[in-house]
Amino acid sequence: MQDIDLDRRELLGFLLRSPLLWAAAAALPDAARARPELAVPEAVSDALDVFQIERAARARLDLPTIHFIVSGADDGKTMQANRDAFDDWAIRVRRLIDVSRIDLSREVLGEKLAVPVILAPVGNQQSIHPDGELASARAAKQAGQVLIGSTLSNFIVSEIAREAGPLWFQLYASADRKLTEKLIGGAEEAGCRVLVLTVDSNTRGNREGERWWARAAGGPAEGTRAALRLGNFEGYPGPPRVGDAALDWKSMDWIRSRTRMKLVLKGIVTREDTELALAHGVDGIVVSNHGGRQEESLRATLGCLPEVVEASAGRVPVLIDGGFRRGTDIFKALALGASAVCIGRPYLWGLGAFGEEGVARVLVILREELKRIMQFAGTTSLAAINASYLERRS
């Protein structure tokens, strides 16, 4: 066995030294040569972009956990559409503008963000790293970013709040109103000022990869997550059941009446629902399709953004998530009127690969990439980024 390994290593060494390999690499199309596709960074500081951090996480995590993170609904077309949509737009840069000072900060719903990037709610983060949500909270605080804690976090919202900077709370409504009230109360007591109600989860997405690999590992459909505590449900006498198929605008009004927190709806993707949301007095909107994890065959969130921005007419901040992996992706959403973007999988890759430091690295990478394109485009502040910096590719 050892001999075979040695032979393999020798062969690899030989190939890497071989001029034939470099000749073959030179023949690759430009796009393939431009990115170090094969690199898997060993140390967090080596990671050049979010995709490399993803590879580092894939090398460390087990298959059920990888599929917990990567799976999209059905054939993953909504998830793919989210990514593809960034290519629908090209950036129009301006020249001869002093960009020696760039301001990336913005206030959203009373919270000051160092960069317009928010860590989206993600449940069960301890299945990815033992420090789970606490690591994400520490990294977000250090970077000056908001973290949205999930209803399904392993740590209790108050435990996360002790480590976090500004913390918002994401609510999955329950048909059990007493449970919904407990969750809201827990978030208020923890000092959250914004409640993010997820409205795209009245049933569960068909994530076959996630189910398949959890079962293949010999466990239940939720994989190793089934053994983890769900902190926010502790002490509740009833079953911890969330996801209410009957959730409608009336129940949304009821939720709003039960809290002093600002209310943001996560999962709005149409003009019509934006108008209804405003009529019902919401304070903000997240254009989201749950990273393509719920419904198949939806439009990309970037494609939905313009109609939501138009319908909201500047009355409430419009956030967006789904597929943001590069500073240029963020730039495009800002140019189309988003106040900030949320990221999910990128920081999970950071968490899985390097724990808190990995999450921190992802935030640094996105900050530096956004700053770079702002400098190239000649935009010195976020307010300067508008639709004139984009052109739709035909």
x-marked contacts with ligand FMN along 196-235 as a string, rule CB under 6 A: --x-------------------------------------
Cβ at position 344, least distance to ligand FMN in Å: 2
**DSSP string for 153-200:** -SS-HHHHHHH-SSEEEEE---SSHHHHHHHHHHHHHTT--EEEEE-S
Total residues in contact with ligand FMN, by rule CB under 6 A? 24
- Contacts of ligand FMN in 150-189 (CB under 6 A): 150, 152, 170
Least separation in angstroms between CB 287 and ligand FMN: 10
Determine the Cα–Cα distance for residues 71 and 212; give it in Å rounded to an integer. 11
CA atoms within 13 A on the CB side of 382: 24
Distance CA 137, CA 148 (A): 9
Query: Is residue 291 near ligand FMN by the rule CB under 6 A?
Result: yes
**Restricting to residues 325-354, which ones interact with ligand FMN according to CB under 6 A?**
343-345, 348
CA of 198: how far to CAs of 24, 247, 290, in Å? 49, 10, 9
Contact 287, 300 (CB under 8 A): no
Sign of CA dihedral 62, 35, 330, 202: negative
255 binds ligand FMN (CB under 6 A): no
Does residue 120 contact residue 344 with C-beta atoms inside 8 Å?
Answer: yes
Which region, judged by CB under 6 A, interacts with ligand FMN, from 28-36, 119-127, 160-168, 309-317?
119-127
Residue 290 among the catalytic residues = yes
Per-residue binding string, ligand FMN, 300-329, x by CB under 6 A, is ---------------------xxxx-----
Residue 358 is a binding residue for ligand FMN (CB under 6 A): no
Q: DSSP code of 140? A: H
Interacting residues toward ligand FMN by CB under 6 A: 68-69, 82, 120-123, 150, 152, 170, 198, 266, 288, 290-291, 293, 321-324, 343-345, 348
Active site residues: 290
